[in-house]
Structure 1
């Protein structure tokens, strides 16, 4: 596994600080925010200095019931090649549901949602991962996600689910220790148990991030300092295996560069502490093993002095043979052979048969039911925690408001302090269908048609903003587009229509 060292998530807001920060061995950039033909100058300079850049995808939807979109995979591959990356990463999550598979409206979460830890979901995920691996020019690593809610009827723990995924596909793992902490608080899952069940040799690198707790729920914000419990999980992981790379994620509310540098030093210290703990534990284990070997040797010598019928014989070759109704032979080869010829060593899994559409459809119906309850106000599916689902629903709406404000910063300026209230009212029962930029257009149209704005400066500016970005022809079934067509056509010679 390639050694990466210590890294930080590259974001435009802290690009200059990252370039000046000492001890940065690599960076990670959100894949969807990078245009291969127009790479940011900061990333180009980092690459010229030999800093590794890894694209981190957030919208592929490997946990979706449908197969990964070929266009999204091609875009991810293009970014990996443009950045000269040694691998690409994505999430074990579903981000959209519905559509032809379930004969229901297609819905988007705008967020990473947990897949159920069931055999159906694992089978779908494994096939989707293999499709992605075949389409990408470099290895793929997948990340465990944070969750506010749990699926009913799950059949595996997180560690077991990740172990089988890696075992069946050979995919590498991006372990987010902050997400392990989130799931500990929100779902009562033991981080130490998850780490104990993981295939540690499959770890590509590790994420570390901050969050906050409110009303007993941990929110993985990536906007707060890394708390001690997360650092403790990192130390535990580092005591078990030397992580190839560790990266600090920060997505907003960026502190001063000195504070980021301090957090990086704290992360390095946590990894070093884990390394020392692991070395000490291995040394103690080796000493105990040595003592046990010496005791065994003395016992064997004493036993050899007095041989009886049916006694066990210890040989200097290190092979112990016991006769009786069953025969077990330990040869020191690393393979445990039991009576009947059963071997504990794993054989490669045969190439899987094509996954039946019925499995995908079952998963698709379950995901569509959950997502519809979260974003469209339909009834809560049986078995889910209604209170926790309500928390998740409100969090999704708040995130939509925040991201739309970023992709369309004119909207908060036009609407002022009323923007957030207006958007949250709009989002109730109006799922996102075409990404955040389309969501911004839909919100502006709904605000204008809903009569929430009386005639005045704000309404005129919002109408002008919408018309400038909605295209040269009115969209189907858009009353606002029909009303505004004449005015828009008159301005087309003077105004560049931006999408």
Structure 2
């Protein structure tokens, strides 16, 4: 396992600060944001200094019903080779749904969504992981994700799901302790229990990040300082095993370099104080026997203060480990010998379930049975908000042209028009929507918007005659809602 040390996520907005920060052992870069043939100068300088660079993918959707896209895998492999990376990482998530398996339009979430912790979903994920492993030139590690919503009828806990995944595929793990905290607040899941169940010896590295409480849930924003409960989970993890690497993530609302340096110093202190020790590999049955550790923190509600004192963590003795674990109140774990054979219809089952959920989140379809409709609403609003923010970042001319009208206009557009071709296509479709409607009303702004669209679409700007095409797209979307 590659020893990485303590690092920070490299982002163009803080490239200079990252280069100047003391003690940066390695950096992680969003794989889709770099081109293998044209690496940013900052990354080239870091590599020349001997700083390890790890590409972190966000678009494969390995937890989705479809097999991984060969083109995306090839791009990720090329990026890993160009960076001389010792490994690549991705997420246990789905990012799109629909298509051939459901005979519905493909919908993009623009976000990492949780997979159901069921045997069917695990079968699909494992096959997708093996396909990805065969296509990549270096080892793959997968990250647990944060979630606002929970799937009904789950059959495994998060730790059990990850343990089975590692046992079947040999994949490594990227454990995000901020995501464990998020799932504790939003879903009542114990981080200590998850750490007790998962194979800590498979950890490639760890993510640490901040967030905030809003709408009665915890949002993993990567745009706020790391709170104490997240650091306490890091301490718990480091008391169980010495992680090969720990990385501070920050994606937005970047603070001064001094604050980033201070957070990295705090992380180093937590690792030093925890005195992490190697964990001997254990079979899944032994992990399950020690699964029920003490819950490290009370549930945090909306607006609750999360920067209080440290949370206690549990260290079970060998004698305690021999005692039967308490029954899991969240999900039963079928004994390995009694587990059913892989379901040949697993992909179809997962495809229908994920398409139904994503249609409810982005296309106004009914909430699938068993889901919390209020939480679905919170997640749907969060997806619209993220789309609005991302479009403003990749197409900054649009907020400049539309002024204060940009955000309400885009939100209104996004609530009724699912994303189907990525964020850049989304920006073009948004502008086409405005122009067809004769907006904005200011002639100068409309001319500037028309010019923006022409320069990027390479075609004549859309006119009211294009409403027929829009109606056809709306009819296709309506099929998803039924």
Smaller-chain TM-score bracket: 0.7 to 0.9
Structure 2 counterpart of 1:459, from 439, 443, 446:
446
Relative to structure 2, which stretch is displaced further, 136-145 or 402-411?
A: 402-411
Structure 1 gap segments, 5+ residues each: 283-348, 483-499
Matched residue SS, 2:275: helix
* Partner residue in 1 for 2:62: 62
Does the 8 A contact of 2:410 with 2:430 survive in 1? yes
In structure 2, relative to structure 1, the CA distance for the partners of 1:437 and 1:480 (3 Å cut) is: farther
CA distance in 2, matches of 1:215, 1:134: 42
Does the 8 A contact of 1:185 with 1:216 survive in 2? no
Does the 8 A contact of 1:475 with 1:481 survive in 2? no
CA distance in 2, matches of 1:188, 1:222: 21
CA distance in 1, matches of 2:195, 2:29: 26
Relative to structure 2, which stretch is displaced further, 78-87 or 357-366?
A: 357-366
* Partner residue in 2 for 1:375: 362
CA distance in 2, matches of 1:161, 1:75: 28
CA distance in 2, matches of 1:115, 1:401: 24
Does the 8 A contact of 1:86 with 1:139 survive in 2? yes
Does the 8 A contact of 1:474 with 1:481 survive in 2? no
* Partner residue in 1 for 2:131: 131
* Partner residue in 2 for 1:84: 84
Does the 8 A contact of 2:146 with 2:183 survive in 1? yes
Deviation at 1:479, TM superposition (A): 2.1
* Partner residue in 2 for 1:300: none
Deviation at 1:250, TM superposition (A): 0.2
* Partner residue in 2 for 1:392: 379
* Partner residue in 1 for 2:328: none
TM-score, with length taken from structure 1 = 0.79
Does the 8 A contact of 1:29 with 1:54 survive in 2? yes
Alpha-carbon deviations, 1:167-196, whole Å to 9, x = none? 100000000000000000000000000000
* Partner residue in 2 for 1:333: none
Equivalent residue runs for 1:225-374 within 5 Å: 225-275=225-275, 358-374=345-361
Alpha-carbon deviations, 1:409-432, whole Å to 9, x = none? 110000001100000000112000
In structure 2, relative to structure 1, the CA distance for the partners of 1:34 and 1:478 (3 Å cut) is: farther
Alpha-carbon deviations, 1:106-153, whole Å to 9, x = none? 100000000000000000000000000000000000000000000000
Equivalent residue runs for 1:16-95 within 5 Å: 16-95=16-95
CA distance in 1, matches of 2:399, 2:453: 14
* Partner residue in 2 for 1:421: 408
Greater Rg by CA: 1
Deviation at 1:269, TM superposition (A): 0.8
1:4 to 2:27 alignment: no
Deviation at 1:357, TM superposition (A): 5.7
Does the 8 A contact of 2:180 with 2:191 survive in 1? yes
CA distance in 2, matches of 1:16, 1:70: 34
In structure 2, relative to structure 1, the CA distance for the partners of 1:481 and 1:373 (3 Å cut) is: closer
TM-score, with length taken from structure 2 = 0.82
Alpha-carbon deviations, 1:221-250, whole Å to 9, x = none? 000000000000000000000000000000
In structure 2, relative to structure 1, the CA distance for the partners of 1:131 and 1:474 (3 Å cut) is: farther
Matched residue SS, 1:37: coil
Does the 8 A contact of 1:445 with 1:480 survive in 2? no
Relative to structure 2, which stretch is displaced further, 372-381 or 447-456?
A: 447-456
Equivalenced residue count is: 410
* Partner residue in 2 for 1:331: none
Superposed CA RMSD: 2.1
Does the 8 A contact of 2:172 with 2:203 survive in 1? yes
In structure 2, relative to structure 1, the CA distance for the partners of 1:240 and 1:139 (3 Å cut) is: same
* Partner residue in 2 for 1:224: 224
Deviation at 1:468, TM superposition (A): 1.7
Matched residue SS, 1:149: coil
* Partner residue in 2 for 1:489: none
Deviation at 1:199, TM superposition (A): 0.3
Tell me: higher relative CO, structure 1 or 2? Use CA pairs within 8 A at least 6 residues apart. 2
Structure 1 counterpart of 2:417, from 427, 430, 452:
430
* Partner residue in 2 for 1:340: none
Deviation at 1:450, TM superposition (A): 2.0
